[in-house]
Amino acid sequence: MNKLNDVATEVASVKLLIDGKFVDSATSQWRDVVNPATQDVLARVPFATPAEVDAAVASAKEAFRTWRKTPIGARSRIFLKYQQLIRENMGELAALLTAEQGKTLPDAEGDVFRGLEVVEHASGIGHLQLGELANNVAGGVDTFTLLQPLGVCAGITPFNFPAMIPLWMFPMAIATGNTFVLKPSEQDPMVTMRLVELALEAGVPPGVLNVVHGGEEVVNAICDHPDIKAVSFVGSTGVGTHVYHRASKAGKRVQCMMGAKNHAVVLPDANREQTLNALAGAAFGAAGQRCMAASTAVLVGEAASWIPDLVERARGLKVNAGDQPGTDVGPVISCASRERIEKLIASGVEQGAKLELDGRSPKVPGYESGNFVGPTIFSGVKPGMRIYDEEIFGPVLVILTAETLDEAIELVNANPNGNGTAVFTQSGAAARRFQEDIDVGQVGINVPIPVPVPLFSFTGSRASKLGDLGPYGKQVVLFYTQTKTVTQRWFDDDTLHVGVNTTISLK
């Protein structure tokens, strides 16, 4: 954690949001928000005190008393307004995101837009939160269900999508009648806070949405707090596993979307040009800092001969600051992240993989202090090498080979992670076998990053996901609600009395 000196005190402080008010934290612990391309300090973010976390939860708990009974149409109209405000401020939001996270401006707009899609979905909550009715389940007896909100919910979000993932969480939670406490990433909270400001402008009432900042202590406080009913998490496997077990032990509903090692399987009959372009974009876009990045290619049979062409495409990508025109690959989030990626690249060389393209220490004029790693490609990679076994989370593509599709499927299924995968082929039979036999949550067929639109739910399997239900889509409505079943019978005044029934029958 960075202690601020006298010069840094002139930098703006990121606020907390408690009970509808943006307030300064009383903490003595702060961290700098740093532009990863320049190392300029953009702001300082507080690590909230236990009392501030309690105040945020108390505000949400009090607001729930009235918010839960707010008409569903009124909730829907707030999110109709909210999506309009996001659209109107798209340029500002993307610029903020690029400055603090490092993405290219087009990619930053994509980050905001994919979150906006969930906001639009939340505005349709009226038909998403419907119960069910069965008439005359017995003589004169009807049964129906209600999907009712849980109470105070919380979200813990990562640095790599500081717009999209918060928008996965609090809009759906609030639209279903809950109140929310959000903990953004402490590395890039500024765009998240701007989105929160717009949510209040759209009409989210005081206390319905609250924000606290911090690290492990604040995460633990959220997991342990008795008044929080559900926790949504997206981030690394280590933290996610901790959150899942700690919050579950405290009796909460928990969904944790975690680490990945996403494989792109390429068959020899695939469209060569489109596949090579897709692999380069999916591996190196966002500097490889996507949980759905295609970081691993499995070239089947003769497709192994495509490696030189793939290297040439990657070599042609432009590494620069995200706000510079024509940039393909921006900086990674921090100096520590860059150092970790470079150590993993070195380990690949030491363990015998062939370094086809070395992206370490690229020259970026005017941004010599930036956290840059250029596109890097290894071939001859095998399970057991660190570059295969670990999630690198940088612009590094590792290439394995397989003789057959069945061998490739076996390889993918043997990996502990199951977030996303893709197959590139022009054979419908091969694609169908792949989608049937692969044990991965999200499957793309000639689509390198198969993140579903909000009509469906983001999923995941094995070590990439803990919890039964995923964020957004139909699944998240079930996650943020509890089902109440009502069985009712009405009698007319002149109904014949039939006596006492001591059985469980409703006849």
* Segments of 80-227 assigned E as strands: 133-138, 141-149, 152-156, 179-183, 209-211
| Torsion, Cα of 191, 63, 47, 97 (10° steps) | -10
- 291 tagged catalytic: yes
Are the CB atoms for 130 and 199 separated by under 8 Å?
no
- Edge to edge, the sheet with strand 141-149 lists 133-138, 141-149, 481-489
Evaluate whether 409 touches 298 at the Cβ level (below 8 Å): no
The whole-angstrom separation of Cα 448 and Cα 424 is 8
Q: How many CA atoms lie within 13 A of 308 on its CB side?
A: 1
Report the alpha-carbon distance of residue 391 to residue 393 in Å, rounded.
Answer: 6
Catalytic residue among 153, 223, 256, 291: 291
Q: How far is CA 329 from CA 185, 375, 395, in A?
A: 22, 8, 8
Specify the DSSP class assigned to residue 199: H
Determine the Cα–Cα distance for residues 471 and 157; give it in Å rounded to an integer.
12
- By the 8 A CB rule, do 278 and 444 touch? no
Contact 311, 83 (CB under 8 A): no
Alpha-carbon dihedral 265, 270, 273, 274, rounded to 10 degrees: -70
Cα 473 to Cα 93, 164, 299, 451, 453: the distances in Å are 24, 14, 33, 12, 8
Active-site residues, by number, are 291
